[in-house]
Chains A and B, each alone.
Chain A
Amino acid sequence: MIERFLAWLGETPWSVALLESLYAWPLVESTHVLTLGLFVGATIMMDLRLTGLAFRNVPVQSFTGRLLPWTHAGFIVMTVTGLLLFYSQPLRYYHNVFFRVKVLVMIAAGVNAFVFHRGAHRRAADWGADAIPPRAARIAGTVSLTAWAVVVVTGRLIAYNWFDCDIQPQPGWVNWLAGCEAVTE
């Protein structure tokens, strides 16, 4: 079902045009990579504050209030360019091990951010000025730093076809993770 949809998506004229374009694809990809500096960069700065490793006398609310809009702007650019890149080769990315891990870890990072904003951050008025934030905030910062680092590394590795379904033989778990049975059937 999803296979057939993605195969159709990849054959739409705009998808083919994007993938085969001389400049559009590299420009979209470059925008995706350079916006990392804004999106992940701003996220790292806030996470370092939450772990108590940096900006110790800058209140946490400064970051969540005044830097977060920039993080959100970066996120929108990342999402739009990321979706365009996916649209250029949907079936290949869908069966790419690194892409799958990346998506899962991004979901985990999202859940972590949601839990932090619904939990510890609600009481930030009490602890936001502390040099070392409470445990829940330090954990949220550490999880976020780790998750986004994994997302960046796996994102970069999507470019490599080492574990693609048409490169066989592979260990069973690699084929399972890439969902290769659906391809060969």
Chain B
Amino acid sequence: MLEPFFRWCESTLVGQAVANSVWAFPILEAVHLLGLCLLGGALLVVDLRMLGLGLTGQSVSRLARHARPWLIAALAVMVATGIPLFLSEAIKAYYNTSFRVKMSTLPVALGFTFGVRERVARNEGMEPGPRCKVIGAVSLALWFTVAAAGRWIGFS
């Protein structure tokens, strides 16, 4: 149903420019990976703390507040590089199961992070309760799925 849209994506100026360049795709991919590193760090520091691990000397709310701008910066890098990567091989992505898994999980992960996790983390202190721990674990699981499915796009 969406196939014509994906065909159009690949025919766009950016899609064609990346697809026809030797260097563009690898460089965008490398920067996408740098974004993954920053995203991983900004998420893990808070998720581990919500689970009662890692930087346990600090309150959950303090770590979440500090990590937030870096989390957003990382997501901005991921999206800014991910879109041209996608455009260059949109038709392949359309038929790729891993891509579908990634793109179905991504909005859930984003909604959960900014809708649920952030609200809970903001009011959480030194002793995270069971609810907080579950949210930290769910956040890790969601983002792990996004990242793993993302890596598997290239293998499937």
Q: Knowing A36-B33, A70-B48, A157-B30 touch, does A45 contact B41 (C-beta < 8 A)?
A: yes
Residues of B within 8 A of A59 (CB): 57
If over half of A's interface residues share one DSSP class (helix, strand or loop), that class is named, otherwise mixed; here it is helix
Select which of B22, B45, B147 is within 8 A of A45 by beta carbon: B45
**Contact: A57 with B62, CB < 8 Å?**
yes
Residues of B within 8 A of A57 (CB): 62
**Contact: B63 with A38, CB < 8 Å?**
no
Identity of the chain A residue whose Cβ is nearest the Cβ of B48 in the assembled complex:
A70
Is the CB of B44 closer than 8 A to any CB of chain A? yes
Which size bracket describes the interface of A in this complex?
35 or more
Which size bracket describes the interface of B in this complex?
35 or more
Q: Knowing A58-B58, A63-B55 touch, does A70 contact B30 (C-beta < 8 A)?
A: no
Select which of A26, A66, A160 is within 8 A of B26 by beta carbon: A160
Is the CB of A110 closer than 8 A to any CB of chain B? no
**Contact: A54 with B40, CB < 8 Å?**
no
**Contact: A36 with B70, CB < 8 Å?**
no
Contact pattern, B 98-134, Cβ under 8 Å of A = 1, otherwise 0: 0000000000000000000000000000000000000
- Chain A residues within CB distance 8 Å of chain B: 26, 29-30, 33-34, 36-38, 40-45, 48, 54-59, 62-63, 66-67, 70, 148-149, 152-153, 156-157, 159-160, 162
Would you give 14 A-B contacts (Cβ < 8 Å), ordered by A?
A26-B152, A30-B151, A34-B148, A37-B39, A37-B41, A41-B37, A45-B41, A57-B62, A59-B57, A66-B57, A67-B54, A70-B48, A70-B53, A153-B31
